[in-house]
Amino acid sequence: MRAEFVNPFLASLLNVLKTMASMELAPQKPRLKKDEVARGDVSGLIGMIGPQTKGSMSITFDEGLALEIMQRMLGERPHGVNEEVTDMVGEITNMVTGGAKRILSDKGYEFEMATPAVVSGRGHTITHKCDGAIIIMPFDSEYGKAFIEICFDG
């Protein structure tokens, strides 16, 4: 998988969290992911399909980070991952994919986005809709970790 596919998602996540929650995340080293187990507590997964390729992207947040983002965006902090938190993660997934879609469109890559699915709970799984390698990109913050996973065919 080429960096030109991955980087727009990373840039878009950083931009969305900076804009919506005044929060900075520190990108760590990307690596290949060999299993379907999520590395955090709540994940948004979205499928993408286009003439050149198909794939999917997920964003997973540790519970503490998700709750802090909720606090900053909406001014309320739930006691745990609830329906409002999962809705917010779905919205962030949509915004990040939309931002990446705009960047990729400028480079000639077009794709349609599905509606994001949100899964939560310790040890939940993320099943990507493609045959390619899964790249996982960790991010650190003082409130916990976030992870982007990206998988494209070809």
Summarised one tens digit per residue, pLDDT across range 87-121 is 999 999 999 999 999 999 998 888 888 999 999 99
CA distance 17 to 34: 27
For domain 3-152, give the CATH superfamily.
CheC-like (3.40.1550.10)
Round to whole Å and give the CA distance between 102 and 25.
Answer: 22
- Kindly give the residue spans of alpha helices, DSSP state H, lying in the chain: 3-21, 63-74, 83-106
For 48-81, the pLDDT digits (tens) are 888 877 889 999 999 999 999 999 998 989 999 9
Q: Among 67, 21, 60, 55, which Cα is nearest to 44's?
A: 60
Q: Across residues 11-23, what is the average pLDDT?
A: 96
Q: Domain limits of the chain?
A: 3-152
Burial class (CB in 10 A: 0-12, 13-18, 19+), 37: exposed
82/154: higher pLDDT: 82
Residue type, 78: P
Phi, psi of 139 (to 5 degrees): -130, 140
Residues 72, 153 contacting (CB under 8 angstroms): no
| pTM for this predicted structure | 0.93
Burial degree of 135 (CB within 10 A; 0-12, 13-18, 19+): buried
Specify whether the CB–CB gap between 135 and 151 falls below 8 A. Answer: yes
How confident is the model at residue 154, as a pLDDT?
Answer: 61
